Amino acid sequence: MASSADGLVEVFAGGQLGRVNGIAKNLLKLNDVNHSTFVELFSPVSDDGVAHLLDSPTGHAVLKTVAGREIEAFVKIVYEHSRVLQVLLVDDAEPVFSSLINLPAVLDQKSILCSADVHLQAGKPFAMVAIQLKNYGFWSEMVGFSEAEALFEDISAVLLKQASKISALMGYLANEQFVLLLDNISAELDVHAKLAALIEPFGPLNYTKSAVRVEFVITYCMAPEDGQSGRQLLNNVLISNRLHANGHANFFMRYDASMIERKRSQLLISEALFYAIDNEQLFLHYQPKFDLKQRKICSCEVLLRWQHPSLGFVSPAVFIPIAEQEGQIVELGYWVLQRACMAISNWSKQGVQLDKVAINISGKQLAQDDFIPRVETLLAGFDIDTSLLEFELTETWLIENLEQSIEKLSRLKKAGVSIAIDDFGTGYSSLSYLSKLPIDVIKIDRSLITDIAQNLNTQSMVANITRMAHDMSMQVVVEGVETLEQLKMLEQLNCDVIQGFLIAKPQSEQSFIHFVGIAGAGLASLMEGQ
């Protein structure tokens, strides 16, 4: 809500107000909404009007504020116990200013856009700059609302004074966000120099009016390269500002159209992922693993795949990091586990014998309070030997959450599930840490064995890892094996299991079952170098 360009108000079923973002506070002239109800803010409005907004997923109503101004309210987001409404002024001729920004030289949005369009028509180069004051809400909680208001007023006045010094037009939008129009520039370095001068008074040694640190998110567009109209330039610089909201403070970041496009693509993928399970777009592939000592296919890794009707096949290298970041990975993980258990049950009925089936578990999934009960309930629904299951987890998450990891992994071990460390060699890679965890398997990352056939240092490293892992009763699996030379070297180094394109690519369940049945003779010949 804080980063949205819309005025947003959360309303609970009984009409009690929840969160209200800065833009909505400016629109509705709110200072303190604690213990207020939606009805108290508008007159006249009936309980039926509120009920309509809360009952319909597409609710819409025109309401009046206590001050007599008309607003439109739309249902934006539906939660289980509340709804987020977008609020708009019906008559937006009056600029939306905070009560604090009454400085006569501060322009409104329309004036900034008009000036930008005039410069564009005259062919004058200029920059459009967005400046967001970071963590204003945190200030309010730390120093109190009244002091934060006074501090914001002073910061605004200092910014205006500095803007005048660098010959910039300054406007105030809402939600502690300013916009500057910088002209009389001959190069992009001029923009950097002027912005450095703009915020120079807010250095920690210069600005001492409060205990809080004054920090800004600053992004800019160069005209006409980054926009053909004032509106387009403003939209682009505001989007860029929101995308950099969690980045380093007081850096000057230029609008990047390719980054915006990537972000839009990520948002599209993120939204589509929420419906991928219900729309039956997901499926599993299985990559065989080869036991170097038994010389047979002993196990496999379960891999998630996604075919979207309009996006096509989406690479897991693209959608898995997005799912991790946005949270969909939790439910995706349970779906994979359920389908893998179904496959194991079917294989047992068909007489397919495997030692292990490896399933990737996200750190976010493991971190859920109900992870163990959900896994136990899910496994109880299948007539399978839990010792067939091997959960692969990344080393970094386990080490960063060591105590929590020990407790949960110990419970999984008691249930018969094996635990593997995935991508070993890309994180801490510390066997002293791993010795504290109930680990059964170390899976060496492909990046560590690329040159193993020729590099003595790589051979020594893998040999030491293998020896120490075996001393701790751990098995060593190596992924990414693509050449016969790598295979033979890993066998000499006493590694246990390998997987990679040399053995087989990930494949459908039907192909995998067929491969398990016919692979023995061919792989045995491969081991002999025939």
Model confidence over 166-183: pLDDT tens digits?
989 998 877 678 999 998
Beta pairing class for 216-223 and 475-478: unpaired
What tokens does 35 get?
């213990």
Number of Cβ within 10 Å of residue 435's Cβ equals: 12
Task: Taking each helix axis as running N to C, give the angle between helix 230-243 and helix 257-276, from 0 to 180 degrees, rounded to the nearest 10.
Answer: 60
Higher pLDDT, 201 or 428: 201
* Mean pLDDT score across all residues of the chain: 83
Strands (E), 195-245: 216-223
Which region among 79-83, 149-153, 515-519 has the lowest average model confidence (pLDDT)? 79-83
Q: Which of 28-32, 101-105, 407-411, 525-529 has the lowest average pLDDT?
A: 101-105
- What is the average per-residue pLDDT within 469-486? 94
Given the DSSP bridges, would you call strands 168-172 and 177-182 parallel, antiparallel or unpaired? antiparallel
Provide the H-helix boundaries in 4-96: 22-28, 47-55
Place of tokens 């790598």: 486
- Cα gap 499→521, rounded to integer Å: 17
Strands (E), 31-139: 60-64, 70-78, 82-89, 126-133
User: Which comes out higher in pLDDT, residue 51 or 10?
Assistant: 10
| Backbone angle region of 6, left / alpha / beta, with phi > 0 → left and psi within -120 to 50 → alpha | beta
Amino acid at 146: S
Q: What is the mean pLDDT of residues 209-219?
A: 80
As a whole number of Å, the end-to-end CA separation of the chain is: 64
Task: Look up residue 116 and give its two tokens.
Answer: 């930008």
For 44-66, write each residue's pLDDT tens digit: 455 555 566 667 666 777 777 76
Check residue 334 and give its pLDDT: 96
pLDDT confidence band for 530 (50 / 70 / 90):
very low
- Look at residue 207 and tell me whether its pLDDT is greater than 60: yes
Helical axes 402-414 vs 371-380, angle rounded to 10°: 20
pTM listed for this prediction: 0.64
In single-letter form, the type of residue at position 319 comes to F
Give the whole-angstrom CA distance, residue 241 versus residue 412.
44
Q: Cα 300–327–367 angle (5° rounding)?
A: 70
Determine the pLDDT at residue 58. 65
Three-class secondary structure of residue 182 per DSSP: strand
Q: Which of 249, 225, 226 is nearest to 238 (CA)?
A: 226
pLDDT-based confidence at 100, cuts 50/70/90? very low
Query: Which of 51-55, 161-165, 488-492 is predicted most confidently?
Result: 488-492
> pLDDT digits over 389-403, tens only?
999 998 777 777 778
| pLDDT in the model for residue 72 | 76
Residue 40 pLDDT > 90, yes or no? no
What is the H or E stretch that residue 303 is in? strand 296-308
The percentage of residues in the chain with a pLDDT greater than 90, rounded to a whole number, is 44
**Least confidently predicted of 80-89, 161-170, 312-321:** 80-89
**Most confident of the ranges 22-26, 132-136, 160-164, 431-435:** 160-164
Q: Give pLDDT, residue 5.
A: 58
Nearest 5°: the CA angle 371, 376, 377 is: 100
pLDDT confidence of residue 50: 59
Mean pLDDT of 194-220: 82
371 or 42: whose pLDDT is higher? 371
DSSP 8-state symbol, 388: G
pLDDT digits (tens, 9 = 90+) for 421-463: 988 877 655 666 777 889 999 999 999 999 999 999 999 999 9
Q: How many residues does the chain have?
A: 530
Sheet of 60-64, strand order: 17-20, 7-12, 82-89, 70-78, 60-64
Give the pLDDT of residue 25: 76
Q: What would the two tokens of residue 14 be? A: 């009984």
pLDDT bucket at 103, cuts 50 / 70 / 90: low
- C-alpha span between 180 and 129 (Å, rounded): 5
- Helix orientation angle between 316-326 and 329-350, rounded to the nearest 10 degrees: 130
The answer to whether the peptide bond before residue 373 is cis (omega within 30 degrees of 0) is: no
What share of the chain in percent tops pLDDT 70?
84
Between CA 331 and CA 334, with CA 333 as vertex, the angle to 5 degrees is: 65
Distance CA 445, CA 443 (A): 6
Comparison of pLDDT for 134 and 46, the residue scoring more: 134
**Please, how many CA atoms are within 13 Å of residue 352, restricted to the half-sphere of its CB?**
23
Q: Is the pLDDT of residue 306 over 90?
A: yes
Helix 509-527 and helix 329-350, axial crossing angle in degrees, nearest 10: 70
Residue with tokens 């990930």: 506
Q: Across residues 365-387, what is the average pLDDT?
A: 92
| Strand ranges for 173-263 from DSSP E | 177-182, 216-223, 252-254
